[in-house]
Amino acid sequence: MYEQECVPFAPALIESMRSLGYSFCAAIADLIDNSISAKASEITILSYPNSNPSMVILDNGYGMDNDKLYEAMRYGSHNPLLERETDDLGRFGLGMKSASLSQCRKLVVISKKDGKINGYSWDLDYVIQKGAWMLKVFSEDEIDMYEHIDMLKAMDSGTYIHLSEFDRVREGTGNLSETFAKCLDEMMNHLSLVFHRYIDDGLVINVNGEKLQARDPFLKNHKATQKKRECPIYIHNQKILLSPYILPHLSKLTQDDLDKIGGKEALRNDQGFYVYRNRRLIIWGTWFRLERKDELNKLARVMVDIPNSLDYMWSIDIKKSSAILPDIIRKNMYNAVYESVLSSESVHTYRGRKDKKSEDIEYIWERRIVRDGCEYLINRDIPQLKMLAETLDDKQVKMLDGVLKVLEEAFPVTAMYVDAAKGKIEEKTVNDEIAEKLWEELQEQIKYIKDRGLDIVSYYKMFMKVEPYCNYEVIKENIKKELAKYE
Ligand X SMILES: Nc1ncnc2c1ncn2[C@@H]1O[C@H](COP(=O)(O)OP(=O)(O)OP(=O)(O)O)[C@@H](O)[C@H]1O
User: Distances from the Cα of 19 to the Cαs of 29, 97, 144, 447, in angstroms?
Assistant: 17, 12, 32, 71
Nearer Cβ to ligand X (49/93): 93
Q: Give Cα 289 to chain centroid, integer Å.
A: 19
Which residues does 144 contact at the CB level (< 8 Å), separation at least 6?
none
Binding mask 73-92 for Mg ion (x = CB under 5 A): -----------------x--
CB of 30: closest distance to ligand X in angstroms? 6
Q: Which of 45, 49, 54, 91 binds ligand X (CB under 6 A)?
A: 91
Contact positions with Mg ion (CB under 5 A) in 358-387: none
**Strands (DSSP E) along 17-73, which ranges?**
42-46, 54-59
**102 binds ligand X per the rule CB under 6 A:** no
**44 binds ligand X per the rule CB under 6 A:** no
Q: Which of 35, 164, 179, 340 binds ligand X (CB under 6 A)?
A: 35
Nearer Cβ to ligand X (78/136): 78
Q: Which of 49, 53, 61, 383 binds ligand X (CB under 6 A)?
A: 61
Q: Which of 34, 44, 100, 308 binds ligand X (CB under 6 A)?
A: 34
Provide the residue type at 443 as one letter: Q
Cβ(389)–Cβ(400) below 8 Å: yes
Cβ(69)–Cβ(118) below 8 Å: yes
Output the CA torsion sign for 369, 375, 376, 377. negative
Binding part of the chain for ligand X, among 55-63, 342-350, 419-427, 428-436 by CB under 6 A, reads: 55-63
**36 binds ligand X per the rule CB under 6 A:** no
Phi-psi region of 59 (alpha: psi -120 to 50; beta: other; left: phi over 0): beta
Nearest-angstrom CA–CA distance, 193 and 216: 7
CB of 120: closest distance to ligand X in angstroms? 11
For 479, how many CA atoms within 13 A lie in the half-sphere containing its CB? 24
Partner from ligand X, Mg ion, none binding residue 35, C-beta < 5-8 Å depending on class: ligand X
Terminal alpha carbon distance of the chain: 107
Nearer Cβ to ligand X (91/196): 91
Nearest-angstrom CA–CA distance, 13 and 10: 5
Binding mask 141-180 for ligand X (x = CB under 6 A): ------------------x---------------------
Binding mask 417-446 for ligand X (x = CB under 6 A): ------------------------------
Cβ(75)–Cβ(17) below 8 Å: yes
Which residues does 377 contact at the CB level (< 8 Å), separation at least 6?
365, 366, 368, 408
* Backbone torsions φ then ψ of 38, nearest 5 degrees: -90, 15
Q: Which of 95, 158, 272, 383 binds Mg ion (CB under 5 A)?
A: 95
Nearer Cβ to ligand X (47/271): 47
Contact positions with Mg ion (CB under 5 A) in 11-70: 34
Nearer Cβ to ligand X (155/434): 155
CB of 320: closest distance to ligand X in angstroms? 7
Binding mask 232-261 for Mg ion (x = CB under 5 A): ------------------------------
Binding part of the chain for ligand X, among 71-79, 128-136, 340-348, 354-362 by CB under 6 A, reads: 71-79
**311 binds ligand X per the rule CB under 6 A:** no
Nearer Cβ to ligand X (72/231): 72
Q: Where are the alpha helices (DSSP H) in 425-472?
A: 432-451, 456-465
Cβ(458)–Cβ(390) below 8 Å: no
Binding mask 182-221 for ligand X (x = CB under 6 A): ----------------------------------------
Which residues does 472 contact at the CB level (< 8 Å), separation at least 6?
430, 434, 435, 438
CB of 277: closest distance to ligand X in angstroms? 10
Nearest-angstrom CA–CA distance, 401 and 395: 10
Which positions touch Mg ion (CB under 5 A)?
Answer: 34, 90, 95
Which positions touch ligand X (CB under 6 A)?
Answer: 30, 34-35, 38, 59, 61, 63-64, 72, 77-78, 90-97, 159
